[in-house]
Amino acid sequence: MPTNGQRQGPRPIPALTQLPRPVYARAESLSAGSWTTRHQHDWVQFSYAISGVLGVRTAEGSYFAPPQWGVWIPAGAEHEVETSMRAEMRSLYVHRDACRWAPEQCRVLEVTPLARELIKQFCLLPVDYPEDDSPEARLVGVLLDQLQALPQVGFSLPLPQNPRLLGLCNELLAHPEEGQTLGQWAQQLNTSEKTLMRLFQRETGLSFRGWRQRMRLLSSLTALEAGQSVTDAALGCGYDSTSAYIAAFKSLFGMTPGGLRL
């Protein structure tokens, strides 16, 4: 995720060896430039930002979650979490046995109003909430049912494994406004445009143009959440036309940039 401010030192990762209950909650206030080192858990993690934009990066790609969406991280998946602006994050850690239906890949899910309220109520429970046939255990069961039903959205960006192509992608992520063409990048990498085009398609499943467009739209989420105008967000991520930006945004996210901030 592109950062708007200075990156801080890594924030600490909870020193948990096992979960005290099948579901465990964490509430965190993250400062701008907050990030973790790459790590993994023996349990599923579901995190979303009440405010701010949450970014999760794995070897396979980057996943972005503005408010109303969350990132699902499978058990054992190595990942980093970062925010380029202040954010309020809520996380659920779920034991593998409590969600055998869990997908094996990271994905971004829409947090429905019901799921959001259930998470809010669950975060108020003590860590060692009563189990068996208690009201608290029944709330956890309903929460897990709702998590299983959350719809997936396309707020992800696949990353290549090829080192040279990954370097190119990281450069674009750091500077989404850059307008270098595929031909210019090919020349810089001392290869042909056709070869680079094939490599992009094979490594990411997207064309160069399609990957850069998605990257630019995802990078604009932070600006929108920070309250910048749609025009400034468009210009900041490399679009010359606000109308073209709005049309592309609606095509990817299913809503206009203004609708995202409602």
Dist. CA 28–CA 87, nearest whole Å: 8
Dist. CA 198–CA 196, nearest whole Å: 5
160-260 CATH pick, 1.10.10.60, 3.50.50.60, 1.10.357.10, 3.40.50.460: 1.10.10.60
Q: Domain 23-153, what fold? A: Jelly Rolls (2.60.120)
Dist. CA 65–CA 245, nearest whole Å: 19
What is the residue-level pLDDT of the chain in tens, covering all 262 positions?
A: 544 445 566 777 777 889 999 999 998 888 888 888 899 999 999 998 888 888 899 988 999 988 889 999 999 999 999 887 888 889 999 999 999 998 888 999 999 999 999 999 999 999 999 998 899 999 999 999 999 999 998 788 999 999 999 999 999 998 999 889 999 999 999 999 999 999 999 999 999 999 999 999 999 998 998 889 999 999 999 999 999 999 999 998 888 998 775 5
Dist. CA 90–CA 210, nearest whole Å: 32
Q: In 175-261, where does DSSP find H-type helix?
A: 182-188, 193-204, 208-225, 230-236, 242-253, 257-260
Query: Whole-prediction pTM value?
Result: 0.82
Q: Residue 33, exposed/middle/buried by CB under 10 A (0-12, 13-18, 19+)? A: middle
Domain boundaries, the chain: 23-153, 160-260
- DSSP states of 177-192: T----HHHHHHHTTS-
